[in-house]
Amino acid sequence: MSQTAKYEILYIIRPDMDEASKKELVDRFDTILKDNGAEITESKDWAKRRFAYEIKGFREGVYHLVKLSANDAQAINEFQRLAKFSESILRHMIVREED
């Protein structure tokens, strides 16, 4: 049996999305994580911030934070794979928390 690991995912959503589309995007990625065995403890918008440099033509973005735990890397790998193809996610970062 593998040990549960805790992760933090921070991703930046393009700033020109309306609230309903943004909620749909967040719900979709939360579901991807859950369907692949992760348990989400927190999923919230963090802040809208200006960037130091332009990312994909945008000067700012909405930062969204997800805290989760998972027994293996399947959920993380699937999130990462799909986030790369999403035009609505400008950047993402995944950090494994120390025990």
Statement: residue 1 has pLDDT above 80:
no
Domains and CATH numbers, the chain: 5-96 (3.30.70.60)
**pLDDT at site 59:** 97
- Residue 65, classified by CB atoms within 10 Å of its CB into exposed (0-12), middle (13-18) or buried (19+), is middle
State the alpha helices, DSSP H only, in the chain.
19-35, 74-85
**pLDDT at site 19:** 94
Burial letters 5-34, b for 16+ CB under 10 A, else e: bebebebbbbeeeeeeebeebbeebbebbe
Average pLDDT over residues 10-39: 96
Average pLDDT over residues 82-94: 96
The reported pTM is 0.91
pLDDT digits (tens, 9 = 90+) for 35-47: 999 999 999 999 9
